[in-house]
Amino acid sequence: MTRPAQAKALARAPSPGLRIWLGGLALALAGLTVAQAAQGQETAQPDLIRTYGYSYYGDLSYPADFPHYTYVNPDAPQGGEISEYASGTFDSMNPYSRRGRAGRYSWAIYESLLETGAPFGDAAPADVYDEAYCLLCESLEYPPSKDWVIFHLRPDAHFSDGTPLTADDVVFTHNLFLEQGLPSYAEAVRQRVINAEVIDDHTVRFDFAPGISRRSLIDQVGSTPVFSHRWFQETGARLDEPRMETSPGSGPYVLDSFEVNRRITYRRDPDYWGRDLPINRGRHNFDVIRVEYFSDDAAAFEAFKTGEYTIRNESNSRQWATGYDFPAVNNGWITREEIPVGSPPTPTGFVFNLGHAMFQDRRVREAITLAYNFEWTNQQLQYGLMAQRYSYSQGTRLEATGVPEGDELALLQSLGDIVPPGLLTDPVVGAHTSSADQLQDRRNLRRASRLLQEAGWTVGDDGVRRNADGQVMTIVFPYPSSGSATTEAVIESFLQNLRVLGIDAQGQKIDPAQYTERTRNRDYDMVFDSYISFIDTGTGLLQRFGSEAADYSLFNPAGLADPVVDAVINASLMAETPEARDTALRALDRVLRWDMIMVPLWYSPNEWVAYWDVYRHPEQLPRFSSGALDWWWYDQARAEELRAAGAPLH
């Protein structure tokens, strides 16, 4: 029991003399707490860790008295507006409901105890990985066993409506996510966090289940957004229902206005309580962040040319290669940058719905994977700008190579009969090569055809592939009408190769709202989607790749449920050393690639950004984010210069 909990329990004792003694003890403890805070890590309990940030191994890159993150400009001017686009529609401003299509950045107004990400989706801190620093809390304490954690909240933290943010709001939010949050999230947290307790207005304690890994527990409860208990109580709003009303947040921006399916505007809160914190210095520099909505990418690009919005993260390789030849670029009003990406590429691909019987045969998945021709696609449709992805930790120390050896082999062997024999003896699954000269690589298609035949799918005289029951092999592949023309062309070229194999491959171009509904309900055979790359472990890997909620998790679009995957993730979570953790994660990369849950596609080693030349950023950008909406700033003098020259800036 911690000293605050001890004092609370003793205060209920009936003896008047004891109450007098407790009053003196409370004063002594208060003085001791102040002294301990001045000393940094020291606490009354010798083995208790009290700190200003959190990483699993305790190695924080920034000292307790750091003035600001090293990658920001601490003297960046504040003001101006930055705007970007979103495709499709929105009908809700509640991002935590399974229902409805939430507006872009509708989560950005909320904060958490620890800063584990910037408001508008950038990494924070963006120069280190798996470290979090106090935001709503001013410190946290926990034993070396990490059986529990206590957060001490900043007394001056408050919501945008002026009401104080207290420990009651933290516990209320935790329970709200358990009761009304996404089922896969709620179930995972409920099994791991067994108690959330208000100690006093500015102190909250979480206790964790015994016998489980301590990974991703403190940072889990520390990264949950905090809502206003009072607002939910007064309005009767639910977390699991779409709505346009938003509860007050405590973050640097507030929702200013919106027009459904047209735009959303966020405005910097002049009364933001945390503006002077070291972690916020040089950040949140724009007065206004605006999102403009368009029906599709083509319409959005035309609007960018005319200054309707001012910054664009380009995802269309063809457009990046050929589309930026227009006056605003040629006369220097628009700047283009290629910013190196320091994280492993996102595992994007054509994902199989493993709930469908035909995809439960690995030979079928391998055959369909062989129908994708990266080399031709990259040359003909993507202007040679892409590299081929194959690993879930590509380019890092965790990328599996060759056949398993040493500790990795020993780990896989220790799992017994659940491990397929080939996983122990075969080289790791890599990307197949194809001819760049023609879409249909005959060598790969012949190999694919043999695999399908071995799996019981044969081609009849009519050229159609069927199984022994006469069922036609059909693949329905929906994709949103708001996507780019290049992505549509890539999908259609892939489907064309599937048709050559005798498969009834159907692409369905549908509106974004219908697409959202279908993907949430897994109403597809294959879909263009993504998982997560990893360079460290965490219980989030179980949500993404694990069996626990495979039947319904929105984070596991394939519905992967593999006991080998579960075992190696758990081995990484229980690892007592970084070396053992890395061994398990290399095994995880190997197993995921063996499972072939998706056709791996492409990635760009650079982030492509185009923007009207009124924004500036530090010369040296951090590894894990480009940070346009976080630590860039507005150049007022340049904006006036461009307007004087006739630039159509708002």
pLDDT in tens, 540-583: 899 899 998 899 888 999 999 999 999 999 999 999 899 999 99
Residue 207 β-bridge partners: 148, 195
Select the more confidently predicted residue: 213 or 199.
Answer: 199
Does residue 507 carry a pLDDT above 50? Answer: yes
What tokens does 350 get?
């054509």
CA dist list (Å): 90 to 87, 107, 267, 295, 427: 10, 14, 19, 11, 46
Share of the chain above pLDDT 90, in %: 86
pLDDT tens track for 575-609: 989 999 999 999 999 999 999 999 999 999 999 99
Q: What pLDDT is stored for residue 16 in this prediction?
A: 26
Q: What pLDDT is stored for residue 320 in this prediction?
A: 96
Return the residue matching tokens 């699991």.
240
Helix/strand/coil for 51: strand
Q: Could you tell me the sign of the dihedral formed by the alpha carbons of 210, 211, 216, 218, in that order? A: positive
Q: What pLDDT is stored for residue 46 in this prediction?
A: 64
Q: Could you tell me the sign of the dihedral formed by the alpha carbons of 415, 418, 420, 421, in that order? A: positive
What tokens does 387 get?
């590299």
11 secondary structure, DSSP code: T
| 609 closest CA partner among 590, 643, 632, 635 | 632
pLDDT tens track for 221-238: 999 999 999 999 999 999
Distance CA 424, CA 412 (A): 7
User: What are the DSSP E strand ranges found in 276-352?
Assistant: 288-294, 311-314, 334-340, 348-352
Q: What pLDDT is stored for residue 434 in this prediction?
A: 97
Does residue 11 carry a pLDDT above 60? Answer: no
Q: Domain 348-599 sits in which CATH superfamily? A: Dipeptide-binding Protein; Domain 3 (3.10.105.10)
Q: What pLDDT is stored for residue 25 in this prediction?
A: 27
Between the CA atoms of 225, 230, 232 and 234, what dihedral angle is there, to the nearest 10 degrees? -170
Fold for the domain defined by 46-79+91-235: D-Maltodextrin-Binding Protein; domain 2 (3.40.190)
What tokens does 493 get?
């070229």
Distance CA 221, CA 233 (A): 22
Q: What pLDDT is stored for residue 553 in this prediction?
A: 87
Q: What pLDDT is stored for residue 543 in this prediction?
A: 87
Return the residue matching tokens 């070291």.
278
CA dist list (Å): 363 to 420, 445, 550, 605: 14, 13, 21, 31
The residues near 23 (Cβ < 8 Å, ≥ 6 apart) are: none
pLDDT tens track for 128-154: 988 999 999 999 999 999 999 999 999
Select the more confidently predicted residue: 445 or 42.
Answer: 445
Question: Exposed e or buried b for every residue in 145-170, given b needs 16+ CB within 10 A?
Answer: ebebbbbbbbeebbbbeeebbbbebb
The residues near 314 (Cβ < 8 Å, ≥ 6 apart) are: 320, 608, 609, 610
How remote is the C-alpha of 212 from its chain's centroid? 24
Q: Domain 253-343+606-644 sits in which CATH superfamily? A: Periplasmic binding protein-like II (3.40.190.10)
pLDDT tens track for 43-65: 446 689 999 999 998 889 999 99
Does residue 18 carry a pLDDT above 50? Answer: no
Q: Beta strand 132-134 with 114-115: parallel, antiparallel or unpaired?
A: antiparallel
| 362 closest CA partner among 119, 606, 564, 70 | 564
Helix/strand/coil for 280: helix
pLDDT tens track for 148-174: 999 999 999 999 999 999 999 999 999
Cis omega (within 30 of 0) for bond into 125: yes
Q: What pLDDT is stored for residue 10 in this prediction?
A: 27
Select the more confidently predicted residue: 514 or 23.
Answer: 514
